[in-house]
Structure 1
Amino acid sequence: MDVLDEGRAARRSRVGERASRTVLSTMNTADYPTALAARQEMRSWRRLALEPSALRAPDDTPAPDSLAPNGRHLASTLYRVAHAPDWSADPQRTYAAVAGRLGDLTGVGVDHLDVEYDDARELFTLFLQERGGLRLPARALSEGTLRFLALCILLEDAQFTGLICMEEPENGIHPANLPAMVQLVRDLAVDPADPPDYTNPFRQVIVNTHAPGVVQLCDPADLLLAQLRPRSTPERGVVRSLALVPYRQSWRAQPGRPTFSEADMVAYLANPPSAQLRLPPGLIA
């Protein structure tokens, strides 16, 4: 960047401090190629806030075949993934893969999973058949099962790529199934040991959680602690702003920069003082 560019960037920075919109939101030209590239990248980010009512809804024929942020179009998305060109000779392979992963949930006995198309009503409906023979539509499934099922489908969807921001994926999940949920979220991300392709889609996953059970199941190196920290500004002096702080022994930690330790995570690593039920010492591994 030359001196002129630096001057223009500095002026935009000062204007941005007083603006009601971000500087990136106004970038529409190639005058600032780095900022324009950042804006285009941020527009491709995906946010998931799965809602049970949206997950339970069937899809008509003109409906989109990609999962919406609230979980709508679950049935049409699975149908599209199962009948994609790579799997067109055997859609049951995708249905079996999703059903097999859904079977990781304790208390959910899955024998078969598929999407049925009703010609008369032009509707796609997702059905789950239990091992006992009971066939249930999506509207009859529990909230936790639906949330987990949505992520199982996305795991098989090679078109679902990029940065995925997820709101509290543990909502509706039985505590005994938290390990399965955390592992599924981990598997959604690209495996850095293998080259990205349709079997290893390029995905990064960021999860927001307040659940101690989820935090305890994560590798500390994967955690970022959200804190309000003081920051000095030219116009308003010292203000408090949100900072994402890495674990002190992780690869993100940098000399002289804020980090967190186990002491900062006591609320997530120990029972609250008012807890009424505690495990006997002999049962704690």
Structure 2
Amino acid sequence: MIRSKRYGTSFISTSLEEGDPIIRIHQDGGSRGQPRPAAASRARATVVSTVTSSDDPTILAARREMQSWRRLALEPSALRSSDQYMDPRSIGSNGLHLPGALFRIALQGPAGQQDPAQVYARVAGRLSDLSGLQVRTLDVQEDDVRELLTIRLHEIDGMVLPARSLSEGTLRFLALCVLLEDPEVRGLICMEEPENGIHPANLPAMVELVRDLAVDSDEMPGPENPFRQVLINTHSPGVVQLVDPADLLFADTSAFRSADGKITRRLRLRPLTGTWRARDSAEYVTKGDILPYLETPPGAQLTIEGSFA
């Protein structure tokens, strides 16, 4: 984490003039130089999106950072599809072009040193963490007649399954395995409920995979440790119980009085007490606040105790 200070005005400020919000861009030097004003009511886009030159390096860096953010909303139909030879070789936000992305990653590397088998073996090894899946290896089939790329899973018993035959949960897990191998995927990755379609017994494997997607902060970022951050949202008690408590933020809304005196509600994200985020926050949650995520729900019909009684 990098901490710094800026003395004086913000990089971007907003004020009211005759009831009209005015947005001003201030130079990186602080108070030196005149700010550039713009009326918010006549703006067709955000101020950040209009900065394209190095005259405002900090705002430009913020823009490029936000441009690197990606939201994954993996769809089974997209994950099951094959790729044309001319299709893009990067995974789309819905999982499209998964075969092309894996094929590119397998062929990456210095000339004469590519070894697709090693990449396929690593992905297959990670995929074998799913219980009930007998993975021997996988590859990308090249169909020169139809000019198609198709992911194939080879099971231990010799059966060969194309991607269209795999379950939704397996495909979602496979897509994350491929992202893990892709050094070109950097920045922020956002996912909604990655546990969807995953058997409860495979939740630990999914949580560990999502954690491994993020940069290892104890190691120097590089090709083997891409600079990535991962944000997920979930309602699953199983995921909450498996995640490191320091990584959890609990979302709710609270009443807030705005500058004009109106009462409104705003989102707040609260850390768990005892974690590093809670040290600098007056708002946090305790284990007592999140009992539904930690205990068997009232009225549960089937429990381990009841099963063996």
The two structures have a TM-score, normalised by structure 1, of 0.90
Q: Distance in 1 between matches of 2:287 and 2:269?
A: 16
AA partner of residue 144 (structure 1): G
Say which of 222, 229, 238 aligns to 1:197.
222
Q: What corresponds to 2:32 in structure 1?
A: none
- Which ranges of 4 or more aligned residues in structure 1 deviate by more than 6 Å? 18-22
CA distance in 1, matches of 2:12, 2:230: 34
**Deviates further, 24-33 or 185-194:** 24-33
In the alignment, structure 1 residue 235 sits paired with structure 2 residue 239: no
Q: CA deviation at 1:256?
A: 5.3
The residue that corresponds to 1:208 in the other structure is: 233
Q: Which moved more, 1:226-235 or 1:83-92?
A: 83-92
Query: Paired residue for 1:132?
Result: 157
Aligned partner of 1:54 in structure 2 is 78
Distance 2:142 2:261 in 1: 60
Q: 2: distance between equivalents of 1:189 and 1:251?
A: 19
Letter in 2 for 1:211: S
1:24 offset after TM fit, Å? Answer: 4.6
The 5-angstrom pairing of residues 29-40 of structure 1 reads 33-40=57-64
Residue 260 (1) aligns with residue 285 (2): yes
Stretches of structure 2 lacking an aligned partner (at least 5 in a row): 1-5, 24-39
CA distance in 2, matches of 1:36, 1:89: 36
Separation in 2, partners of 1:2, 1:192: 29
Q: Give me the whole-angstrom Cα distance separating, in 2, the residues matched to 1:21 and 1:231.
A: 29
Give the total of aligned pairs: 281
SS in 1 for 2:203: helix
1:8, distance to aligned residue in structure 2 (A): 6.9
- For residue 277 of structure 1, what is the aligned residue in structure 2? 302
2:225 counterpart letter in structure 1: N
Within 5 Å, give how 1:59-208 maps onto structure 2.
59-86=83-110, 88-208=113-233
Post-superposition offset of 1:238? 2.2
* Change over 3 Å in CA distance of 1:135–1:7 after alignment to 2: closer
> Are 2:248 and 2:271, in contact at CA under 8 Å, matched by a contact in 1?
yes
Structure 1 residue 272, shift from structure 2 partner: 1.9
Residue deviations 1:184-214 (CA, integer Å, cap 9, x gap): 1111111111111111111111111111110
Do 1:52 and 1:146's aligned partners in 2 also have CA atoms closer than 8 Å? Answer: yes
SS at match of 1:165: strand
CA contact (8 A) 1:231 1:241 kept: yes
Could you tell me which amino acid in structure 1 is paired with residue 150 of structure 2?
T
CA distance in structure 2 between the aligned counterparts of 1:22 and 1:277, rounded to whole angstroms:
54
Q: How many angstroms apart in 1 are the aligned matches of 2:87 and 2:199? A: 32
CA contact (8 A) 2:150 2:162 kept: yes
Please name the residue that 1:218 is paired with. Answer: 243
Contact 2:51–2:59 (8 Å) recurs in 1: no
Q: Tell me if structure 2 keeps the 8 A contact 1:82–1:88.
A: no
Give me the whole-angstrom Cα distance separating, in 1, the residues matched to 2:161 and 2:122. 18
Contact 2:79 2:96 in 1 (8 A): yes
Distance 1:168 1:269, change over 3 A: same
Match of 1:9 in 2: 13
Question: Alignment identity in percent?
Answer: 52
Give the Å deviation of 1:228: 0.3
Is the radius of gyration larger for structure 1 or structure 2?
A: 2
**Alignment partner of 1:155: what SS?**
helix
Match of 1:28 in 2: 51
Superposed displacement of residue 274, structure 1: 2.8
With over 3 angstroms needed to count, the CA separation of the structure-2 counterparts of 1:256 and 1:182, relative to structure 1, is closer
Larger relative contact order (CA 8 Å, sep ≥ 6): 1
- 2:273 pairs with 1:248: yes
| AA matched with 2:95 | G
Once residues 173 and 299 of structure 2 are traced to their aligned partners in structure 1, the CA distance between those partners, rounded to angstroms, is: 31
Q: Distance in 1 between matches of 2:78 and 2:276?
A: 39
Matches of 1:96 and 1:260 in 2, distance apart? 43
Moved more, 262-271 or 93-102: 262-271
Greater share of residues in helix? 1
C-alpha distance in 2 between matches for 1:274 and 1:32: 59
Alpha-carbon displacement from aligned partner over 1:236-275 (angstroms, at most 9, x marks no partner): 5221111111112111124452111111211111122232
- Is the CA contact (8 Å cut-off) linking 2:48 and 2:59 kept in structure 1? no
| TM-score, structure 2 as length reference | 0.83
Shift of 1:233: 0.8
The Cα shift of 1:111 comes to: 0.7
Give the Cα–Cα distance (whole angstroms) in 2 for the partners of residues 77 and 23 of structure 1.
Answer: 33
Supply the distance in 2 between the matched residues of 1:122 and 1:201 (Cα, whole angstroms): 32
